[in-house]
Amino acid sequence: MYNEKLYDDLIEGFNQKVKSDVFLKHRGFNSFKELAIINFEMSLENIQQRKRVGRYYVDTKEKTFLHFTSLEALMSIVNERSLRMYNLLGVNDQEEYKYSAEGFNKYLRHDVDWVKEHSFSLSLTDHENLESEHFWNSEYSSNGKGVAIELSFQNEQKDWEAFDISPVYYEKNPDTRVWLEELDKISKVKEVLGVQFDPSTVFGFHKVDSGKWNNEKEVRLYTAFPLSGRKEFKDRHEWICYDPYSFDRSVQYLPLPLYVSPDLDETLKDVCANPRIPGFPVPKIEAVHFKSDNLKIWDYKDQIKAYISKRLGYWIDLEPVYFDRS
């Protein structure tokens, strides 16, 4: 039988070295005779459950966020009554996750690309960036021809399962050197057959400091393996969808159902309305913003508002954003 106290001491020593918002927990041992493989998992659970404000935490209570996108994407979101969380294989920066995982490869429980295929994110930003021309002139808002969807979350973060929301950092976590040193020490203990490390949650909030992405001020809703162990998903492919515009079949998205008024006419609750899933965040469209010089939206403003009301069961504001040209 393996020495359980020894392994508990190693794990506790590891956690004491982590001087940040993140803590590591073990997922149990894979034992072989008197040896064991120690499984570590990075977790933000302590932040959510204790309502702590930290590096990987954004308080969603009484706060709204912006999702910049095209007008066509807005209409698709409303029609499907869900937002699309794309996996990390479909993001613009292909170095995401690989950058954070550098040096940890020998300990990772899963291949980096496999983790990216099963990790999904939604790019947001703080509402304070509504009048930032950087966002309006970007490809996300079709170079000023698109919209900013203002979102709130209707359920508390403590009720989310496997979902986190955090600012994106354009650097590595400064504690990763300490984590790697401790993993190296533990792996050299003769009673330890091996060490496995699962940092998927935390590493998903870091990008390369290349200067290209730094102005995005991204707040990211992120989940890794969101369907794992959930009985309602007997077949993963009934829920995970392929991006119809990608030739790479590994680029997929996770539909995140929107808040829909409980008073919505039952005849309109068609197959496009995905069911609300326990443990999933519940985003609600509070308003839609557009640049004041977007004549197309001015022309169809009333029709757009009416269609959103029909699909979601409540009226929203469709508001122009004015920029001072003086």
Which sequence spans correspond to the domains of the chain?
60-93+120-169+215-321
Distance CA 306, CA 302 (A): 6
Tell me the pLDDT tens digit for each residue of 202-256.
Answer: 788 888 776 665 667 899 999 987 776 565 555 555 577 776 665 566 678 899 9
Three-class secondary structure assignment of 283-295: EEEEEEEEECCCH
What is the average pLDDT across 184-198?
80
Token couple for 217: 């001020």
| Strand, helix or coil for residue 207 | coil
Q: Write out the E strands in the chain.
A: 23-32, 35-43, 65-69, 82-87, 119-126, 147-153, 163-167, 192-198, 219-224, 241-242, 252-257, 283-291, 317-321
Q: How far apart are CA 291 and CA 132, in angstroms?
A: 11
Phi-psi region of 217 (alpha: psi -120 to 50; beta: other; left: phi over 0): left
Q: H or E stretch including 187?
A: helix 176-187
Q: Residue 273 has what pLDDT? A: 47
Could you write out the DSSP letters of every residue in 63-102? --EEEEE-HHHHHHHHHHTEEEEEEGGGSS-TTTTHHHHT
- The model's confidence at residue 323, banded by pLDDT at 50, 70 and 90, is confident
Top mean pLDDT of 27-36, 98-107, 144-153 is at 144-153
d(CA 153, CA 151): 7
How many Cβ atoms from other residues are within 10 Å of residue 88's Cβ?
25
Mean pLDDT of 298-321: 96
Report, as an integer, the average pLDDT of 257-268.
Answer: 79
Q: By the 8 A CB rule, do 290 and 321 touch?
A: yes
Which pLDDT band holds residue 99 (cuts at 50, 70, 90)?
A: confident
Rg from Cα positions in the chain: 22
* Residue 56 pLDDT class (50, 70, 90 cuts): confident
Q: To the nearest whole number, what is the mean pLDDT of the chain?
A: 80
Over the stretch 6-41, which tens digit does the pLDDT of each residue have?
777 877 777 777 655 555 555 455 555 555 667 766
**Inter-residue contact 226 to 254 (CB < 8 Å):** yes
Q: Please give the structure tokens belonging to residue 208.
A: 């390369």
Query: pLDDT at residue 306 above 70?
Result: yes
> What pLDDT digit, counting tens, does each position of 269-284 carry?
554 445 567 789 999 9
Q: Which amino acid is at 5?
A: K
Higher-pLDDT residue of 76 and 42 is 76
% of the chain at pLDDT higher than 90:
32
CA distances from 141 to 69, 222, 244 (A): 5, 21, 20
- The residue ranking higher by pLDDT, 313 or 50, is 313
Residue 130 amino acid letter: L
How many whole angstroms separate alpha carbon 269 and alpha carbon 312?
9
Residue 260: is its pLDDT beyond 80? yes
pLDDT at position 201: 74
**Do residues 64 and 151 touch, judged by C-beta distance below 8 A?**
yes
Query: pTM surpassing 0.75?
Result: yes
